[in-house]
Structure 1
């Protein structure tokens, strides 16, 4: 499933591709035909992301209340884009958007966007969008986000940190990779109850998460290793050098040499180093 940095990249890309244009919207598959008809001919006035949720804001008339297209890609959803005449629709194509052109030089090929296989593709009123966001935790990639609700929610929970980081109502946008890597980078035991974690360590971890996810938006990759912990110290991190523990069960820890282990937690496979993240690691001082 795409993590939050990917959804923020989609929001930026869609704004660049279709922002300010009226769109022709259709649902070749038919499952979103009514919704597509409502935004057909409307202008895309804004895009945004919150965690793993993507929103397009459309307005048909200047004074009209905008309609909000909400997309959650889930495990199988994918976007595809291009310019010019799109391919003949095939298969489960949920939504096709084609931007109008003004015929000027450099704007003679229509931009288009296809969406296949999302978990959610629906139209919302702004109040419904707000209600959805109220159920989500803070998003580290949203400007000027206050981490206090996250720190407070974690600080009073008996649930393990490894579970809390995957709970989108606690913090929005973290997936399995960022979970494993953030816990490792701060020596946090994935099984430590949130209320037993050191608040200062949690705040430092939040700031680090903002930095890591912001870099992920820029590069389109999740890279969490420092150069000194990679096989190749300089240049762009290779795929096999990008992570400390995620996907590395049975291999040696890049920092201490212990064996990386894995288990199931919050219905997903969790990776950690039992030496760098010992039982109780990251607990507050008593």
Structure 2
């Protein structure tokens, strides 16, 4: 059984479908429904840390180790709550997790150390490079009709560095973020001549990305994967990316036409200047990105998630 989107695609039952109850109650419902299931497929993002701790506690009490976590991205949390979550994970997860997916190789070592999960239960399954549910193959790069620079995201976004680099450059830049974050950056965006939007629906976002000349994925360094959805979406729609080279994107740099050090506004300006001045080099790199993206569609990723599920529970 599963309460996440991949479970639905794998035809797993979902006892929480349409349920808006508190994470505590949802965890109890999942636990009750899972007693006859071979495995429970979920992730922290869906369950929330509290919900995952509760579910893991119930499974530990019942002496069951058939929890499978996908896209396991537990950010380092500060303060008392963060310390409590880390301690709970370190006690519970080695006892109940049959298998967990991580996005990068360094996370496998990090989470084994941080939470005590045996390395053989941590599996590196890279995120998919293009979405073959939207297109049969990645779009080819063409600058025709593409008029804006775009930067979007909800997690790990380094708006300060991006807008510092943009100020005075005349970039046709639009940023898309959370409503609460927009309120913080709207002034700096205005000074940089950028348009700041918030909470744009996915279909509109995809149309904006498909018509963008350039996607700027400018990220803060954090101890967790980040930026993979943005890289995949850009490859799907044939949009060039300039990317911050943080640890969270290790192994995915080939999906960008250029990378820059995190927090370096000057390097970002220089990368955009290179992009504008070298159209043939950009075209060559976009052709290479497209060739790599074709090799790793969503359908292949889903098959690997399914294999993880079956191999983790025997």
- Greater strand share, 1 or 2? 1
Length-normalised TM-score, structure 1: 0.26
The structure richer in helix per residue is 2
Query: Given the two structures, how large is their TM-score scaled by the length of structure 2?
Result: 0.25
